[in-house]
Amino acid sequence: MINNMNDEKGKILLATLAGIGVGVAAGILLAPNNGPDTRDSLKRTLSKAGDELERTVKNLMDKLESNKVTDDGSSLVMRGSWDDVKGQLKKNYAELTEDDLTYVEGQEDELWGRLQQKLGKTKNEIMKVIRDL
Give the span between the Cα atoms of 12 and 111, in whole angstroms.
32
pTM confidence score: 0.43
Domain membership of residue 11 (yes or no) is no
58-115 confidence digits (pLDDT tens): 777 777 667 766 665 555 556 667 888 888 889 999 999 999 988 887 788 888 899 9
Tally of CB atoms within 10 A around 101:
19
Whole-number mean pLDDT of the chain? 77
Quick check: 73 and 65 in contact, CB under 8 A? yes
> Pick from 22, 42, 70: which residue ends a domain?
70
DSSP 94: T
Per the domain annotation, does 26 fall within a domain? no
Cβ within 8 Å of residue 54, ≥6 positions away: 77
Q: Are residues 82 and 126 in the same domain?
A: yes
Any idea what DSSP says for residue 73?
Answer: T
Domain range for 57? 34-70
Q: How many domains does the chain have?
A: 2
